[in-house]
Amino acid sequence: MFTKVLVAEDYEIANQGIIKVIQEGLGIQNIHESKYCDDAYLKFRKAFQENEPFELLITDLSFKEDHKVQIRTSGIDLIQDIRKIQPNINVIVYSQESRPDKINMLFQKLDINGYVCKGQNAVRELVSCVQGVFRGDTVLPPEVTEASTDNIVNLDDFDIMLLEELSQGLTKKEIVQKLKKLKITPNSESTIDKKLSKLFDDFKAKNTTHLVAIVKDLGLL
């Protein structure tokens, strides 16, 4: 079982609840906590530099703003920055977010190892999730496994790249020029049109601005 865990959760009661669950349910005693993403990152970096790295990160997605200015304001920021230093760290997201599409996007974009939705069965599911991740499994929550596949959008690398360029304000022609310059194929304007048409349908977006807003809300950008 994991021996060193970092918990990032801004509500102290929830933080203590997570710690109690994994201590009593899994026997893990070396647990560090933080209410801020920046503080969690500093604890992680210090442990890594001292050659005593964390094996598991359990983090919420959203953190309440207060007087303390933060560089990292979300669990997504925290995961991305930690993974830049320790790509193989195991990550479990523990959040109120229950939309299957957004949860699925987190697995696709951030390559997280497990997800638990806060709620009635959260304690049991968190213990099971940690156990599964320790075994090397990717642990999807019921919100995803029980959802209709028709309601879950799967994006490939080209889709993600296209969305990122659109979010920067590039036009279709500018994107085509950039693809050709980078020698990325396919790179025709008709291909971009087809991709955009599918993305509009998948996300039920009215226009490009609406599409970018939706995918940002889903945590894709």
Range among 62-66, 67-71, 135-139, 176-180 with highest mean pLDDT value: 135-139
Q: How far apart are CA 74 and CA 154, in angstroms?
A: 23
Mean pLDDT of 203-218: 85
Half-sphere exposure of 18 (CA within 13 A, CB side): 31
**CA distances (Å), 31 to each of 56, 72, 190, in order?**
10, 21, 53
Closest CA to 25 of 46, 6, 43, 1: 1
**Tens of pLDDT, residues 11-32:** 877 778 899 989 999 999 999 9
Burial label for 59, CB within 10 Å (0-12, 13-18, 19+), is buried
149: confidence class by pLDDT, cuts 50, 70, 90: low
Query: Which pTM value belongs to this model?
Result: 0.75
**pLDDT, tens digit (0-9, with 9 covering 90-100), for 152-207:** 677 778 888 898 899 989 988 899 999 888 888 888 889 899 999 989 888 888 89
CATH 3.40.50.2300 residue spans of the chain:
4-149
d(CA 177, CA 188): 9
Give the pLDDT of residue 147. Answer: 66
Residue scoring higher pLDDT (45 or 146): 45
Fold category of 153-217 in CATH: Arc Repressor Mutant, subunit A (1.10.10)
CATH topology (fold) of 4-149: Rossmann fold (3.40.50)
Orientation angle between helical segments 189-203 and 208-217, nearest 10 degrees: 60
Confidence (pLDDT) at 39:
94
34 band by pLDDT with thresholds 50, 70 and 90:
very high
Residue 125 CA, chain-centre distance (Å), reads 18
CA–CA separation, 175 vs 181, rounded Å?
Answer: 10
DSSP assignment of 119-175: STTHHHHHHHHHHHHHHT--B--HHHHTS-GGG-----HHHHHHHHHHHTT--HHHH
Report the distance separating Cα 46 and Cα 33, nearest Å. Answer: 14
Per-range mean pLDDT, top range of 93-97, 98-102, 182-186, 211-215: 93-97
Type of residue numbered 201? D
H or E segment to which residue 214 belongs: helix 208-217
